[in-house]
Amino acid sequence: MKRITVNISNEAYSTLNEYKAINDLETVDDALDQIILTHTEHILPKKRIYKDIYYEIVKEDNIWTVKYYKLNSSENLEQLPTVHRHINRPPEEEIKQDIDRSFYSKESS
């Protein structure tokens, strides 16, 4: 873990403390860490890879959307027509199961 100093308003600190209590976290640092990591995909969408399928998770109008990509013959990522939408941010394991079902099951072959 990297140690940094952050100056925030009293109101922001109070909000972090409240978030910490609601989510049963040990420290305000844990609260800030969780908030940043929870919203990272919305702030900085990144493509991840599982097997040979790339995916990215983005938040669009309060809906989490998982978009899928595959390398084409020119070695460029091409978006696949399959998209999964979720009310809550899906965990990585669920996304991997969706990929297996959508792209690797016998029915999709």
| Mean pLDDT confidence for 88-105 | 93
Q: Are residues 73 and 109 in the same domain?
A: yes
Expressed in angstroms, the distance from the first to the final Cα of the chain is 44
Alpha helices in the chain (DSSP H): 10-22, 28-43, 92-99
Task: Determine contact, residues 66/84, Cβ cutoff 8 Å.
Answer: yes
pLDDT value at position 100?
96
Query: pTM, whole model, 2 decimals?
Result: 0.57
Q: Are residues 52 and 74 in the same domain?
A: yes
Range of the domain at 71: 45-109
Per the structure, the count of domains in the chain is 2
Q: Are residues 99 and 50 in the same domain?
A: yes
Q: Are residues 69 and 37 in the same domain?
A: no
Mean pLDDT for all residues in the chain: 88
% of the chain with per-residue pLDDT over 90:
61
pLDDT value at position 107?
56
Residue 1 lies in a domain: no
pLDDT value at position 5?
92
| Mean pLDDT confidence for 39-46 | 65
Q: Are residues 62 and 100 in the same domain?
A: yes
Distance CA 6, CA 60 (A): 29
For every residue of 64-91, DSSP letters joined together read EEEEEEEE-TTS-EEEEEEEEEESSPPP
The two tokens of residue 72 are 């084409």
Q: Are residues 56 and 76 in the same domain?
A: yes
Residue 2 lies in a domain: no
Q: Are residues 72 and 106 in the same domain?
A: yes
Q: Are residues 95 and 72 in the same domain?
A: yes
Q: Whose CA is closest to 52, among 108, 93, 104?
A: 104
Q: Are residues 38 and 50 in the same domain?
A: no
